[in-house]
Amino acid sequence: MYTFELINDFTMKIIDEYDEALYLIEGEDKVLCIDAGMSKKNLYEYCLNFTDKPIELAISHGHLDHIGQSGSFKTVYMCSKDKSLYEKHMKIEGEGHFSNEGLNILPVDQIQEMPSVFHLGKRDIFVHPLIGHTPGSVIFIDPADHFIYTGDALGSGCGVWMQLDECSNVKSYKKSLWDILKVFKEYNVDEEWTFFGGHDKQEFQSKVSSYNPLCLQLVKDMHKLCVGLEKGSIELEDIEIRAMSQKPYYAAYNKAEIITTKEKSGK
Q: Provide the binding-site residues for Zn ion, judged by CB under 5 A.
A: 63, 65, 152, 198
Closer CB to Zn ion, 20 or 26, in the complex? 20
Tell me whether strands 194-197 and 147-151 are parallel, antiparallel or unpaired: parallel
- Work out how close the CB of 101 gets to Zn ion at its nearest, in angstroms, rounded to a whole number: 18
Closer CB to Zn ion, 82 or 221, in the complex? 82
- Work out how close the CB of 249 gets to Zn ion at its nearest, in angstroms, rounded to a whole number: 18
Residues 94 and 48: their CA atoms lie apart, in Å, by 31
- Work out how close the CB of 181 gets to Zn ion at its nearest, in angstroms, rounded to a whole number: 21
Closer CB to Zn ion, 27 or 37, in the complex? 37
- Work out how close the CB of 150 gets to Zn ion at its nearest, in angstroms, rounded to a whole number: 11
Closer CB to Zn ion, 114 or 120, in the complex? 114
Contacts 24+ apart (CB under 8 A), 199-203: 199/19, 199/20, 199/21, 199/152, 199/156, 200/13, 200/15, 200/19, 200/20, 200/21, 200/156, 201/19, 202/19, 202/155, 202/156, 202/157, 202/158, 203/156, 203/157, 203/158
Closer CB to Zn ion, 30 or 63, in the complex? 63
- Work out how close the CB of 27 gets to Zn ion at its nearest, in angstroms, rounded to a whole number: 26
Contact status, residue 152 vs residue 135, Cβ threshold 8 Å: no
- Give 56-110 as a 3 state SS string: EEECCCCCHHHCCCHHHCCCEEECHHHHHHHHHHHCCECCCCCECCCCCCCCHHH
